[in-house]
Amino acid sequence: MPRTARIQRKTNETEIDLTLNLDGTGTAQLATGVGFFDHMLTHIARHGLFDLSVSCKGDLHIDAHHTVEDVGICFGKALVQALGDKAGIRRFGDCTLPMDDVLATAAADLSGRPYLVWRANVPLETLGSFSSQLAEEFWRAASSTGLFNLHVVLHHGHNTHHIVEAIFKACARALRAAVEPDPRSTAVPSTKGVL
């Protein structure tokens, strides 16, 4: 069965059409209106080996917050839809990723229980029209609607662009590992029998 999903969501703040293929090649088609955010979503696709398409019309005349958060909501929902009952996946994934001055770790558990631990003191800076604080908002929304635990730790770094990019790459790599089929098991990876 293909592990794909399409989420369409319309509110007074955003209109989003998102498609996700967990068994893709890392291609991305992105149009959120926020250049730096598109850059980060490209990293999710490339480093997760997901095919990801996102079209978003948001209230950017206010700021990018609703766009980023709502795309995170849709990405999480798409992850749940594409995974189905989660039988045969590895469930857990982690990555410690170096990027120039930065070292960041992300660890994910596709447990069915949302929880975000964010131990990343990201300097407050605007990258294009993307506030660096929105990195946490995206992953909080994604983990909440995606029903997964996500722990993000920034070990060190000083360049804000590098910090945010390293976090997105590490999260993508952690999710890639977690959604991978486990060749040794076709069962749901839980003693409960469900996730």
pLDDT digits (tens, 9 = 90+) for 72-96: 999 999 999 999 999 999 999 999 9
Res 183 pLDDT > 90: yes
Predicted confidence at residue 171, as pLDDT, reads 99
Residue 77 per-residue DSSP state: H
- In this structure, are residues 174 and 153 in contact, taking their beta carbons and an 8 Å threshold? no
| Predicted TM-score (pTM) above 0.75 | yes
pLDDT of the residue at 78: 99
Average the pLDDT over 139-162 and give the result. Answer: 98
Q: Are 89 and 178 in contact (CB under 8 A)?
A: yes
Residue 48: what pLDDT?
98
Radius of gyration of the chain (CA): 16
DSSP helix, strand, coil percent of the chain (3-state; round to 5): 35, 30, 35
Q: What residues does each domain of the chain span?
A: 4-179
Split at pLDDT 50, 70, 90, the class of 63 is very high
Report the C-alpha gap between 1 and 117 in whole angstroms. 33
Fold of 4-179: Ribosomal Protein S5; domain 2 (3.30.230)
Task: Report the pLDDT averaged over residues 48-71.
Answer: 98
Average of pLDDT values for 57-61?
A: 98
Q: Given strand 28-31, what is the order of strands in its sheet? A: 4-10, 14-21, 51-58, 28-31
The pLDDT confidence band at residue 1, using thresholds 50, 70 and 90, is confident
Alpha helices (H) in 4-148, listed in sequence order = 35-48, 65-83, 134-146
Angle between helices 160-179 and 35-48 (to 10 degrees): 40
